[in-house]
Amino acid sequence: MKYLFLIFFINFLPQYAGKSLSRDGNYPKTFEDIKKEIAGYSSIAKAIIDLAVHGKAQNRSYERLAVFADTIGPRLSGSKNLDAAIKYMFSALQEDRLENVHLEPVKVPHWERGEEFAVMLEPRNHSIAILGLGSSIATPPEGITAEVLVVTSFDELHRRAQEAKGKIVVYNQPFITYSETVQYRSRGAVEAAKVGAVASLIRSIASFSIHSPHTGWQNYQPGVPQIPTACISVEDAEMMSRMSLQGTKVVVYLKMGAKTYPDSSSFNTVAEIVGSKYPEQIVLVSGHLDSWDVGQGAMDDGGGAFISWEALSLVKDLGLRPKRTLRLVLWTGEEQGGIGAEQYYQLHKKNISNFDVVMESDEGTFRPMGLAFTGTDEARDIVKEIMTLLLPINITDIYDTADGTDIDYWMRDGVPGASLRDDISKYFWFHHSHGDTMTVQDPNQMNLCAAVWTVVSYVIADMKEMLPR
């Protein structure tokens, strides 16, 4: 009988050759099995939605954010406000009775804009609203007075290079998309300096303006002279463009007191709900705590940070404990290019195989439309199925390519990534401007965002298997 069983087993084995065993010793499930498993979360998903959208947690993420943003205000890298924000969140997460609340040290850039202003002197006296760009140098103490050269593109600048020497280059580039147009903010000073300009003023990277300049980070280039650079409003850029096209000489006085200090100490802020079965495996939800030094940073990225906190709060309030650890990370130094996230990645990448999915919300918390996802086709199919659990609030779409400066490091190494996709039609009206305040936020929309974020992160954290990669 033993020999008959052995012969049967040897003949039976080849059809499973090359197929890995799952953690619990069973053979890999079919997708139909996975669909059934996900469908089993419908009652939990409904409970999360009810609590976030209709229940006691209704408007909680908005109200928490309002207190935070109104009390602390903008949180620029290296500032005392950012230090206060991190201290505030550390205490708040502890008071929320989350687990393993701790701070992970990071070094971040410390730049301050100082006093700054600009005035058009010719053909008339006109005050120009400006916001210096991050890492910009100052003007000389007496300021800079120079004629303006207005261009609409880098190509035009290069064609008119002979005209640029000794002038202030004004870029009046049209807004196409943020990712395409932002190159003028990041490279504008460098390209202007290459042709001998003494400063650059960039039309704000905004799809709409009410005479409001938008700031952001810019990058100098080794071997290229550093010149002062700032953003101006869409209206002023277009006005100077019209004047120039009419042959009118435009002269501007610019004064900026910007200063760069040595890097400052800061922290990524971390809290968890520890997994019940595989605590070493991580589902990471995140947003960044730092902001620019104008407005309140309520939209960028207070909303994303606070719905990520809300995800853990909702899970805790419902008495749920997923199999894997649900980890909240509130990044620091994102606005300078993901400084905190890069240092977090370097510290934790040795455990990269234990990261199930990395999630970041950093494009506002307006009316949610679905989830953007980066990963294998198999993982996408699973996440698409998870999104069907959100049918009660009619948010089930899945989009290509997750986006997030802070999670890119992980996604490039093959870790599945997800980002919240919401209605950003007005996002760049307020982005990096004085307009980024709590007035932009809507509590009902934040409730829906929190529901999406929580259902997706909890189900992935609790499924029998990690997402395939």
Q: Give the residue from 49, 4, 298, 253 showing the smallest Cα distance to 142.
A: 253
- Per-residue pLDDT, 8: 37
Task: Report residue 28's pLDDT band, with 50, 70 and 90 as the boundaries.
Answer: low
Cα distances (Å, whole numbers) of residue 177 to 170, 174, 181, 217, 364: 20, 9, 6, 17, 16
State the Cα–Cα distance between residues 163 and 191, nearest whole angstrom. Answer: 14
pLDDT tens-place string over residues 118-141: 999 999 999 999 999 999 999 999
Please give the C-alpha separations between residue 382 and each of 207, 376, 416, 469, in angstroms, as whole numbers: 35, 10, 12, 12
* Beta-sheet strands, E only, within 157-293: 168-171, 199-203, 229-232, 251-256, 259-273, 278-288
Rounded distance between C-alpha atoms, residue 405 and residue 457, angstroms: 19
Average pLDDT over residues 426-452: 98
Q: Which of 223, 136, 242, 127 has the alpha carbon at shortest distance from 188?
A: 136
Which percentage of the chain shows pLDDT scores above 70?
94
Residues designated as active site: 334
- Listing DSSP states for 328-343 in one string gives EEEESSGGGTSHHHHH
Token digits of residue 82:
């950012």
Q: pLDDT at residue 12 above 50?
A: no
HSE toward the beta carbon, residue 235, CA cutoff 13 A: 10
Mean pLDDT of 178-188: 97
> For 391, how many CA atoms within 13 A lie in the half-sphere containing its CB?
9
Beta-bridge partner residues of 120: 126, 252
pLDDT digits (tens, 9 = 90+) for 330-387: 999 999 999 999 999 999 999 999 999 999 999 999 999 999 999 999 999 999 999 9
Give the domain ranges of the chain: 31-111+262-462, 114-257
Q: Read off the pLDDT of residues 401-418 as tens digits, 9 standing for 90 and up.
A: 999 999 999 999 999 999
pLDDT at 27: 42
**How far, in Å, CA of 45 to CA of 48, rounded?**
5
Query: What class is the 31-111+262-462 domain?
Result: alpha beta
pLDDT at 372: 98
Calpha distance 281→278 (Å, rounded): 6
Q: Identify the CATH assignment for 114-257 out of 3.40.50.12140, 3.30.1370.100, 2.40.50.100, 3.50.30.30.
A: 3.50.30.30
For position 126, what pLDDT does the model report? 98
Overall size of the chain counted in residues: 469
Q: What is the mean pLDDT of residues 431-446?
A: 98
Has residue 15 got a pLDDT over 90?
no
The Cα 403–Cα 359 span in angstroms is 9
Q: Over range 196-209, report the average pLDDT.
A: 97
Burial class (CB in 10 A: 0-12, 13-18, 19+), 428: buried
For residue 262, whether the previous peptide bond is cis, meaning omega lies within 30 degrees of 0, is no
Q: Kind and range of the H or E element at 296?
A: none
CB 213 within 8 A of CB 202: no
Q: How far apart are the first and last CA of the chain?
A: 42
- In tens, the pLDDT along 62-121 reads 999 999 999 999 999 999 999 999 999 999 999 999 999 999 999 999 999 999 999 999
Q: Give the pLDDT of residue 13.
A: 37
What six digits make up the tokens of 264?
């400052």
| Predicted confidence (pLDDT) per residue in 243-262, tens digit | 999 999 999 999 999 999 99
* 3-state SS assignment for residue 146: strand
pTM of the model: 0.92
Mean pLDDT of the chain: 94
